[in-house]
Chains A and B, each alone.
Chain A
């Protein structure tokens, strides 16, 4: 299941974004892919949101994949916060299929 996010994520909207995404994930989904390709700004609140999502998904044996372009600021922030420990980072939507079911 894909959740495509557009725009900027900060403390003013992260909580609501998290709730919106969580509400859409069905228990039958094997994984959730959050697509940040069109996100122009994200800081630690966005990262915290993703960690939180990963925890919730893990409890249901579901995995989290994050789609973010290779040389973007958003990617750098994610890597600095070690998102790899909670989710798989891929560069494009096409790469998600390879990780499906993982």
Chain B
């Protein structure tokens, strides 16, 4: 057995040197002990590398994607089964200033920390090109150059898609990556076939072509890496067929959709690849918001959340949405204060749009009185400052507060 001194040296020094030293001692047990120690350290290193790579990957691939008006998204990453577990698959969602959304799915060759690091480089580079407003084919061309210029040569496949909720289209280009799955509002799935250009880093002058398809409100878009559909136990065609079938009943909520796809399509065996998956669903903007609200202060939060969601679905930016929520909240607070008897009544909140002009109505069945504490005055003044017009209709049946404002915030 190795003595305490040689064990200490093993932790600090070079395993080969330690082994040689012990061999000179001529003690068979010392060599065995040193070999075991060397193996254990190697296993520790793999474990450290694995958890470092996982930490790095987890911090780069968050499951929570950014909030984008009119689009709900979710994504998942599932590590591969081989020893280092982490591969180079990634996804990304980059909201652009003009309301369009860039979606990315990619697959870099490699495993472990090296692959995670390469993936991080590529993720950042794509973001930069996307934020420049470059169209998909140009993004891929730039990425090809970027990959070729990396210190360590590698190749990657990638799909870059631009979703335009306003136009209801998706425009994309592929660098050797599997096609996206589009699911229409009725639930019919179809792969978005496009000419597939060279993987990134394969050659200096690649050619990428774009395809534009309809992506109407209520549709879903699924981006994935080949680990989902290809494996040792199942050929690619069969996997694609499974994916298409799973698309037929895809749940509306993207997070549930991701889980359903993993459950129904992914097949895991010992040697399998990692999987990255992103599901995006285009919201159908609700024509109007109609709420019946219990007349109590606890209801206020629910109203502003429902209003916030509706405003987001029609493309209102957060700053304007906040002001509209405050204006509505003030009117609601007053309706609650009018309720008699307190807590037993309900009041109505309705929000509507006509082009750019929004109308929010709060209708109660009480009388408009100056609410207790004189706070109503401040609330009323605030509504006036936050809206383009304010009408208060007082009748025997109740009071209606009607507020109008441009959703863009531009003052009339």
Residues of A within 8 A of B (CB): 8, 10-12, 41, 43-45, 47-48, 71, 73, 76-77, 80-81
Contacts and interface: CB of A to CB of B under 8 A. Distances in A.
B378 A11 contact: no
Contact of A41 (B325, B375, B385): B325
B412 interface: no
B300 A81 contact: no
B382 A10 contact: no
Contact of B382 (A8, A71, A77): A77
A58 B359 CA distance: 41
Interface string B331-374: 00100100000000000000000000000000000000000010
B301 A12 contact: yes
A83 to B, nearest CB: 11
A73 B300 contact: no
Contact of A73 (B323, B330, B336, B381): B323
Nearest to B320: A73
28 contacts: A10-B300, A10-B304, A10-B329, A10-B333, A11-B297, A11-B333, A12-B297, A12-B298, A12-B301, A41-B322, A41-B326, A43-B326, A43-B330, A44-B375, A44-B378, A47-B378, A48-B373, A48-B375, A73-B318, A73-B322, A73-B323, A73-B326, A76-B322, A76-B323, A77-B382, A80-B382, A80-B385, A81-B378
Nearest to B329: A43
Contact of A11 (B300, B319, B325): B300
Contact of B375 (A8, A45, A71, A77): A45
B386 interface: yes
A11 B336 contact: yes
Contacts of A73: 318-319, 322-323, 326
B304 to A, nearest CB: 7
Contacts of A48: 373, 375, 378
A47 B301 CA distance: 17
Given A10-B333, A73-B323, A44 B379 contact: yes
Interface string B307-322: 0000000000011001
B286 to A, nearest CB: 22
